[in-house]
């Protein structure tokens, strides 16, 4: 059933030009006793993935080496009249 919902969600997002993809894997139980039977597969959708890695260092948004130094800053503000 989760597969059907994930597939439907991906299809609807793609119809609206929203990047989406189908994914599946094991979904371990969270905060419940471990069941005697093995875990089952679970399906979900992913939207607008920016990065994937082993940890935060693999997918850093900004990486600097040495001491970064701010040399200047400029700010613009425009008035919008509606």
Largest CA distance in the chain: 65
Taking alpha carbons only, the member of 81, 12, 20 closest to residue 48 is 20
What local confidence, expressed as pLDDT, does residue 75 receive?
A: 85
- Identify whether 52 is part of a domain: yes
What local confidence, expressed as pLDDT, does residue 80 receive?
A: 85
User: What is the number of structural domains in the chain?
Assistant: 1
- Identify whether 67 is part of a domain: no
What local confidence, expressed as pLDDT, does residue 64 receive?
A: 63
3: three-class secondary structure by DSSP: helix
What local confidence, expressed as pLDDT, does residue 11 receive?
A: 92
What local confidence, expressed as pLDDT, does residue 63 receive?
A: 65
- Identify whether 42 is part of a domain: yes
Q: 22 has which bridge partners?
A: 45
For 4, the domain range is: 1-30+38-62
Report residue 49: phi and psi, to 5°.
Answer: -70, 130
What local confidence, expressed as pLDDT, does residue 77 receive?
A: 85
Which strand (E) or helix (H) includes residue 20?
strand 20-26
What local confidence, expressed as pLDDT, does residue 54 receive?
A: 78
Q: Which residues of the chain have pLDDT under 50?
A: none
pTM more than 0.75: no
What local confidence, expressed as pLDDT, does residue 16 receive?
A: 93
- Identify whether 16 is part of a domain: yes
């Amino acid at each position: 059933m989760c597969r059907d919902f994930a597939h439907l969600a991906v299809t609807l997002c793609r119809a609206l030009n929203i990047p989406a993809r189908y994914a599946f894997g094991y979904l371990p139980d969270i905060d419940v006793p471990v069941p005697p039977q093995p875990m089952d597969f679970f399906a979900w959708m992913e939207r607008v993935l920016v990065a994937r890695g082993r940890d935060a260092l693999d997918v850093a948004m900004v990486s600097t080496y040495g001491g970064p130094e701010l040399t200047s800053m400029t700010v613009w503000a425009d008035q919008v009249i509606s």
